[in-house]
Amino acid sequence: MIRYTLICERGHDFESWFRDSEAYEAQRKKRLVICPLCDSHKIEKTIMAPQVARKDRAHPAALPVSEPAVPAVAPETSPAMLLGEKERELRALISNVREKIMAVTDDVGDRFAREARAMAEGDTEERPIRGQATAQEWRDLVEDGIGVLPLPELPDDHH
């Protein structure tokens, strides 16, 4: 398998995996390689540095789930994107889903993991809840087969 960093005619870059370079070329010629942001079929490979696996280092079986790093000082710049029609529609959809979830769930705050576990074990009546959980609490719930999902979030509307 080979991972290519690709770019469309509008400058959107994204990654995709292919069996080999011939598979990439065959799919591109058949217009099967599509930009996930604008649906463009005009795709090219970008310049990329190969990653070579080293045998003298252990390879982790899975990447650990971690909490996002918080910078000590606010950055001078932040990533930005001009939203096209499809991105605005997606943003509106995510916003609507979030509003509906907020309307039908109880906010249990930092008690989320305890409440979810108590419901799963039958110690308390089931109800839709939302709240905060640490990365470790989240992992423990998932490993124990307790169905939890992240609440979709959007950057502040003033960006």
**Average pLDDT along the chain:** 77
**Residue 83's pLDDT band (cuts 50, 70, 90):** low
Which residue would you say has higher pLDDT here, 20 or 74? Answer: 20
8 A C-beta contact, residue 137 and residue 113: yes
**22-71 pLDDT, tens digit each:** 888 888 888 888 888 888 888 888 865 555 554 554 444 433 443 444 44
| pLDDT on residue 69 | 41
| pLDDT on residue 48 | 59
pTM as predicted = 0.45
The structural domains of the chain, with segments of one domain joined by +, span: 2-45, 85-143
DSSP string of 11-51, one letter each residue: S-EEEEEESSHHHHHHHHHTT----TTT----EEEPP----
Here the tokens at position 21 are 């370079």
HSE toward the beta carbon, residue 106, CA cutoff 13 A: 10
**Residue 135's pLDDT band (cuts 50, 70, 90):** confident
Portion of the chain with pLDDT greater than 90, in percent: 18
110-134 mean pLDDT: 92
